Amino acid sequence: MAAFVFGLAVSVLLFSNQQKFVGYVAEAVPQLGDTTFFVGFLLSGAAYVLVNRSRLARAAVAA
């Protein structure tokens, strides 16, 4: 859950391109458009792997 919240918060803060709020990266590079979903997905996945790397390693050894 922490990885999801991290990915959501960072992606909205930086990459959101909506009427009411424009993120810092989206404001600097408007050609990107609203990439919140894609960036959030990648950040959440990376955070999940980092947080659970020991559990993932044990599962790989057990298999």
Residue 26 CA, distance from chain mean position: 15
Beta bridge mates, 22: 17
- Phi and psi at residue 9, to the nearest 5°: -65, -45
* The pLDDT of residue 60: 80
Q: What are the DSSP calls for 9-26, one per residue? A: HHHHHHH-B-SS-B-HHH
Domains in the chain: how many in total?
A: 1
Could you read off the pLDDT of 10-60 as tens digits, one per residue? 999 999 999 999 999 999 999 989 999 999 999 999 999 999 988 888 888
Against a cut of 0.85, is the pTM above it? no
Whether residue 63 is predicted with pLDDT greater than 80 in this model: the reply is: no
Residue ranges of the alpha helices (H) in the chain? 2-15, 24-28, 36-51, 53-62
Place of tokens 């810092």: 24
Name the residue range of residue 57's domain.
Answer: 2-62
* The pLDDT of residue 61: 83
